[in-house]
Amino acid sequence: MDTERLIFFRDIILSSRDKLLRSVKGIESEINAYMGQQLIEFNERSGEETAVHLLNKLDYRQKKELSFIEEALSRIRSKTYGICIRCGKNIPEDRLLALPYTTACKPCAVKET
Ligand SMILES: [Zn+2]
């Protein structure tokens, strides 16, 4: 992939990272509100446990997405972005536009599942 296209996809990926981090902030305030409510409804201990459980759950999903984002950015830096890790062929751009973090072309991804 040429540098111009790499920059194009880097910008798409950076803006989804931005969106993700912003949504984490939003979720944080939801958790705080939820925690406050729980503390009123239950005793302190059970309210805390529920909030911690909720936080862990969100963290896992968001951490996973963040790691996909970071991996994609590092592939862009090493200029291997858009190359299928299985067969080494170029991944079609329409697939990259739909799935910017994908590491495999469609035939390889289908084979894998
Ligand atoms: Zn492939």
* Ligand 1 centre distance from Cα of residue 102 (Å): 11
Which tokens hold the place of 87?
Answer: 């067969």
- Distance between CA atoms of 6 and 67, rounded to whole angstroms? 19
Query: What spacing in Å lies between the alpha carbon of 12 and ligand 1's midpoint?
Result: 22
Return the percentage of the chain with pLDDT > 90, whole number. 50
Q: What is the CA(38)–ligand 1 centre distance, in A?
A: 49
Say which residue, 45 or 69, is predicted with more confidence.
Answer: 69
How do residues 54-64 score in pLDDT, each as one tens digit? 555 556 778 78
Model confidence over 4-26: pLDDT tens digits? 999 999 999 999 888 887 777 66
Nearest to 92, CA basis, from 112, 78, 106: 106
The overall pTM is greater than 0.85: no
Angle at 100 between CA 70 and CA 19, to 5 degrees: 65
